[in-house]
Structure 1
Amino acid sequence: MPVRKVMLALAACAGLAACGDTLGEQAVGGAAIGAGTAVVTGNGALAGAAIGAAGNVAYCQLNPGRCN
């Protein structure tokens, strides 16, 4: 994988730190970042959105003080 794609993926992962205040905001934010990362890295946007949403919600629910 080219360095540019790795850097973009890491930047997108860093964006997951901005979770959102509600469960819906967490899911939408994660889905947007996941889909964008998937498109940039040449993968399926729908799968990326699902993985991003699940990952962001899981992180925010397990670490409630770190996301807001």
Structure 2
Amino acid sequence: MVTILFTSGCASLSARDRNTITGAGVGAVAGAILTGGSSVGTVGGAAVGGYIGHQVRK
């Protein structure tokens, strides 16, 4: 349900913006898992994921 509410607010975003947000979210989760919940790992994962998401279909 939260995902539906979150994505409905993104209707006006471009595909690149949605990819960046999705990449940051996935990267944050992956960073948190890989570093055992470290704040630095979570933020780093979000940054890397956001960058990768932004580069998709450039």
Q: TM-score if structure 2 supplies the norm length?
A: 0.61
Q: TM-score if structure 1 supplies the norm length?
A: 0.53
- The count of corresponding residues between Structure 1 and Structure 2 is 41
Please provide the CA RMSD for this pair: 1.5
Contact (CA 8 Å) 2:16, 2:53: kept in 1 or not? no
Which ranges in structure 1 are unaligned for 5 or more consecutive residues? 1-20, 62-68
Q: Percent identity?
A: 22
Which ranges in structure 2 are unaligned for 5 or more consecutive residues? 1-13
Quick check: 1:54 aligned with 2:47? Answer: no
- After TM superposition, what 4+ stretches of structure 1 lie above 2 angstroms from structure 2? none
| More contact order relative to length (CA 8 Å, sep ≥ 6) | 2
